[in-house]
Amino acid sequence: MSNDKRRTSEGAIFFMLFCLTIPAANWMIGNVGTSCVPNGPCVVPVAPGISAPSGVLMIGAALVLRDLVQRRLGLLAGLAAIVIGAAISAAVAPPALVWASAAAFLFSEFTDFAVYTPLARRRLVAAVFASGAVGLVVDSIVFLWLAFGSLDFLLGQIIGKAWMIALSLPLIAYLRRRDERIGLMPA
- Sorted by where each begins, the domain ranges of the chain are 3-182
Which pLDDT belongs to residue 187?
86
pLDDT of 108 over the 80 cut: yes
Indicate the pTM of the whole model.
0.91
Q: Which helix (H) or strand (E) holds 8?
A: helix 3-31
Each residue's pLDDT tens digit, 6-18: 999 999 999 999 9
Buried b (16+ CB within 10 A) or exposed e, 67-86: bbbbbbbeeebbbebbeebb
Rounded to whole angstroms, the Cα distance separating 176 from 121 reads 10
Average pLDDT, integer, range 21-25 = 88
pLDDT digits 0-9 by tens, 51-97: 998 989 999 999 999 999 999 999 999 999 988 988 888 888 777 77
pLDDT at 181: 94
Q: Reply yes or no on whether the pLDDT at 168 is more than 90.
A: yes
How far apart (Å, rounded) are the C-alpha atoms in residues 144 and 131?
A: 20
Cα–Cα distance for residue pair 29/51, rounded to 1 Å: 12
Distance of alpha carbon 166 from the chain centroid:
12
The C-alpha torsion from 133 through 137 and 139 to 140, rounded to 10°, is 130
Q: How many CA atoms lie within 13 A of 9 on its CB side?
A: 7
- The pLDDT of residue 62 is 94
